[in-house]
C-alpha cells in the first residue's frame, strides 16, 4: 500500500513537472516585468565557452526564474501570505526597513563584472579612441540601508573587480561617498532627481566641466509607487515624484535618433504607463539626443552618456554644461550599431554610468 502511494506521488510530481516545462516552452516570453519594472533575462546563448566557464548554467537559471509560468501572480499571492498572515519582515528576500523597501542580495557574479568591464572597454576603444573616458558606478540602495539586520554583500569588492579591469584606460568618478540613503526612493531602486543636483555638479567637476545649477526649482508630479512597492503590493509607503526645473531644462528638447521622434525632456505622466519613472526622457530608449534649444548642428561640446535607467534623470541636470547630450543604452542597442549614428569630436566627453546591478547582469548588454 505504501509503495502504491509512493508511485502515485511520484507520478503526480512528474506530471506537474512535465506540464510546467511544457507551459514554459509554449507560453510567449515577455521580456519586461510590469510588477518589477525591469528587463527580464534573455535566453542564454549556447556555446562551448559558456558551458566550460559555467556561465551557461547560471544564466539559464536566471532566465528560467524570470520566465517561470504565472510568475508575477504566484509572487503576489506569496507576498500577501507572508506579510499579512505570517507577519514576516521579508518575503522572497524583499523587506522594509526605516520605511524604505528593498531586496536582499545574496550573491553577485564576479565573471559578470569582468565581462561588463570588457564590454565597456571595447566600446570605448572602438567608438571613442581619441576621447577622455570617465565611468561611474551607482551603488545599490542596500549599500546605505543594510547594516546588521540583514545579509549585506561586499559591494566594494565587486566594484573593485570592474575598477581593476579598466584601470589606466578609463577615469573613475566615485559616487559612494556622494550619495546617501535619502538619495533614493523609498519604494524603488532609483535615485531621486531632486536629491542628486549636488552629485551632478561633482560629476561635472571631475570631468573638468563647471556646472552651476544654482537657478533651479522643483515640481511634483504626484505620488509614486516604485518597483518594490508594486512587488510588495504595499500601498502604505509612497514617494513623491519630483522633477528639477531650470532655464536650460525648460528650453531643452529631446529626440529619438532612430526615428527622429521629438519629445519634451519630461513627458506627461499619463503617457508613461506602466512606470511613472519614465517621466524622464520617456524611459528606456536605444539612442536619445537632448539639446539646449533646437536640433541644428552642434557647435559646442557633446557628452556621450552610456547608461541604464538611472541616466534618464541625471542627463537633464548635466545639459547646462554641454551643447547636447547623446544617451546610449547598451541594454537595447548593440555597440556595433551605435557607430552608425555618432561622430565624436576629440574634445567631446564620454561617461559610462552603470548601476552596480546592471554590471552584475552582463546578459542584459546587447
Under a CB-based contact definition with an 8 Å cutoff, are residues 269 and 252 in contact? no
Sites in the chain below the pLDDT cut of 70: 1-38, 41-43, 45-46, 49-54, 56-57, 60, 63-76, 79, 83, 233, 269-274, 294-298
- For residue 235, what pLDDT is reported? 74
Domain total of the chain: 2
Q: How far is CA 303 from CA 29, 74, 285, 312, in A?
A: 36, 44, 17, 14
Measured distance CA(150)–CA(94) in Å, rounded: 11
Measured distance CA(199)–CA(169) in Å, rounded: 23
- For residue 316, what pLDDT is reported? 95
Q: pLDDT tens-digit profile of 233-254?
A: 677 888 999 999 988 888 889 9
- For residue 74, what pLDDT is reported? 65
- Domain co-membership, 75 together with 166: no
- For residue 158, what pLDDT is reported? 96
- For residue 366, what pLDDT is reported? 85
Print burial letters for 256-271: b (CB count within 10 Å at least 16), e (below 16): bbeeeeebebbbeeee
- For residue 23, what pLDDT is reported? 47
Under a CB-based contact definition with an 8 Å cutoff, are residues 331 and 284 in contact? yes
Range of the domain at 153: 110-364
Q: Is 12 exposed, middle or buried (0-12, 13-18, 19+ CB in 10 A)?
A: exposed
Q: Which of 103, 124, 152 is the last residue of a domain?
A: 103
* C-alpha cell read off for 330: 547598451
- Domain co-membership, 177 together with 321: yes
Measured distance CA(155)–CA(107) in Å, rounded: 10
- Domain co-membership, 92 together with 126: no
- Domain co-membership, 177 together with 288: yes
- Domain co-membership, 155 together with 60: no
Under a CB-based contact definition with an 8 Å cutoff, are residues 38 and 72 in contact? no
Strands 94-97 and 90-91: antiparallel
- Domain co-membership, 129 together with 85: no
- Domain co-membership, 346 together with 200: yes
- Domain co-membership, 38 together with 121: no
- Domain co-membership, 99 together with 41: yes
- Domain co-membership, 99 together with 200: no
Q: pLDDT tens-digit profile of 145-166?
A: 998 778 889 999 999 999 999 9
∠ CA 282-307-234 to the nearest 5 degrees? Answer: 60
- For residue 162, what pLDDT is reported? 97
Which of 360, 353, 355 lies closest to 141 in space, CA to CA?
A: 355
Measured distance CA(335)–CA(126) in Å, rounded: 9
Under a CB-based contact definition with an 8 Å cutoff, are residues 279 and 317 in contact? no
- Domain co-membership, 193 together with 289: yes
Q: Which of 35, 70, 103 is the last residue of a domain?
A: 103
Determine the 3-state secondary structure of 279 from DSSP. Answer: helix
Under a CB-based contact definition with an 8 Å cutoff, are residues 328 and 294 in contact? no
Rounded to two decimals, what is the model's pTM?
0.79
- For residue 271, what pLDDT is reported? 57
Q: Which of 103, 138, 153 is the last residue of a domain?
A: 103
Amino acid at each position: 500500500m505504501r509503495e502504491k502511494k509512493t508511485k502515485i506521488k511520484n507520478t503526480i510530481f512528474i506530471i506537474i513537472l512535465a506540464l510546467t516545462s511544457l507551459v514554459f516552452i509554449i507560453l510567449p516570453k515577455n521580456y519586461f516585468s510590469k510588477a518589477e519594472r525591469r528587463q527580464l533575462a534573455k535566453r542564454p546563448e549556447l556555446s562551448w565557452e559558456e558551458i566550460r566557464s559555467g556561465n551557461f548554467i547560471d544564466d539559464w537559471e536566471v532566465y528560467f526564474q524570470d520566465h517561470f509560468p504565472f510568475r508575477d501572480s504566484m509572487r503576489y499571492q506569496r507576498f500577501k501570505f507572508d506579510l499579512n498572515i505570517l507577519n514576516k519582515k521579508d518575503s522572497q528576500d524583499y523587506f522594509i526597513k526605516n520605511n524604505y523597501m528593498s531586496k536582499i542580495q545574496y550573491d553577485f557574479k564576479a565573471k559578470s563584472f569582468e565581462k561588463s568591464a570588457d564590454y565597456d572597454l571595447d566600446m570605448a576603444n572602438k567608438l571613442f579612441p581619441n576621447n577622455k573616458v570617465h565611468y561611474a558606478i551607482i551603488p545599490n540602495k542596500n549599500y546605505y540601508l543594510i547594516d546588521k539586520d540583514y545579509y549585506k554583500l561586499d559591494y566594494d569588492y565587486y566594484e573593485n573587480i570592474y575598477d581593476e579591469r579598466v584601470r589606466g584606460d578609463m577615469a573613475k568618478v566615485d559616487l559612494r561617498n556622494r550619495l546617501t540613503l535619502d538619495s533614493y526612493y523609498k519604494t524603488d531602486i532609483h535615485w531621486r532627481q531632486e536629491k542628486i543636483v549636488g552629485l551632478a555638479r561633482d560629476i561635472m567637476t571631475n570631468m573638468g566641466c563647471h556646472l552651476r545649477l544654482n537657478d533651479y526649482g522643483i515640481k511634483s508630479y504626484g505620488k509614486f509607487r516604485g518597483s518594490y512597492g508594486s512587488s510588495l503590493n504595499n500601498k502604505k509607503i509612497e514617494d513623491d515624484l519630483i522633477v528639477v526645473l531650470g532655464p536650460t531644462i525648460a528650453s531643452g528638447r529631446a529626440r529619438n535618433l532612430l526615428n527622429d521622434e521629438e519629445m519634451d525632456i519630461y513627458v506627461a505622466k499619463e503617457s508613461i504607463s506602466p512606470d511613472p519613472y519614465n517621466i524622464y526622457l520617456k524611459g528606456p530608449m536605444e539612442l536619445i539626443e537632448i539639446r539646449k534649444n533646437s536640433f541644428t548642428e552642434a557647435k559646442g561640446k557633446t557628452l556621450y552618456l552610456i547608461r541604464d535607467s538611472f541616466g534618464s534623470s541625471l542627463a537633464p541636470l548635466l545639459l547646462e554644461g554641454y551643447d547636447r547630450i547623446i544617451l546610449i543604452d547598451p541594454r537595447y542597442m548593440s555597440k556595433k550599431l551605435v557607430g552608425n549614428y555618432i561622430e565624436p569630436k576629440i574634445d567631446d566627453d564620454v561617461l559610462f554610468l552603470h548601476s552596480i546591478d546592471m554590471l552584475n547582469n552582463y546578459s542584459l548588454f546587447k
